Structures are given as C-alpha cells and as structure tokens.
Amino acid sequence: MGKFVIRETKTGTKFDLKATNGQVVATSEVYSSADACKKGIESVKKNAPVAPVEDQTVEGYATEKHPKFEMYTDKAGEFRFRLKAKNGEVIATGEGYKTKANCLNGIESVKKNAPDAEVVTE
C-alpha cells in the first residue's frame, strides 16, 4: 500500500505520494498550510481512481471532463502527467518519463495507491 508523505518546505507544505516500493509517483504543489495540504490529499484520494486519461501527446485527442489525468510531453521531450480535480485545479503531478508506457504505469500507480494510502508527516 502506498502512502502520502507530508513535509514542510521553505515556502509552505507539500505532499508526495509514494508507491509500495517507496518510489515517489506524484507530487503536489506547495500549500500555504498543512490543512490545505490535507485537503489536497483527500482530493487526490477521491479523484484519482475515477479520472480518465486525456492523452495530449496525440493529435486530435479527445477532451475529457474533470477530474482527469492529462498526459503530455514537456520541453525536454519527456512524458508527464498531471491530475486535475473537478474544478480544473492541478492537484498532483508526475515526474518526467522517457516512454509513454512508463508514464501510463505512473498514472496507474497513482490510481492504485492513492485511495487507501496512509498519510504521514515527516
């Protein structure tokens, strides 16, 4: 089972979602308070399992309704994803992946690990 790790930064509070193997599969923005960060975690837990994938790496991709995972390529040509809540706000982002398949695996890991992940503070 995965876990959400809450930690303080110089500018606020953020979380990482770690898979069972301890690898970070998604990261949040920096929140102004721990309470706001916890609300972000609850949003990921609720939205990740039901969110479809909008593949922005293909021409003429189908636009999905929120909540959704958006898969795209960054300036370095790596595949990335972001999870958006029902209101369109980005609630979690993934790292850069060399292949589309690995990026999709990252999304699946978030879908699998987020709903039942424990929340810990470091």
Share of the chain above pLDDT 70, in %: 100
User: What H or E segment, with its residue span, contains residue 69?
Assistant: strand 68-73
Residue 87 carries which DSSP code?
T
Chain-wide mean pLDDT for the chain? 97
86 has a pLDDT exceeding 90: yes
Task: Output the CA angle 91-41-84, nearest 5 degrees.
Answer: 20
In the chain, the domains with their CATH numbers are 3-121 (2.30.29.80)
Calculate mean pLDDT across residues 88-116: 97
Indicate the pTM of the whole model. 0.95
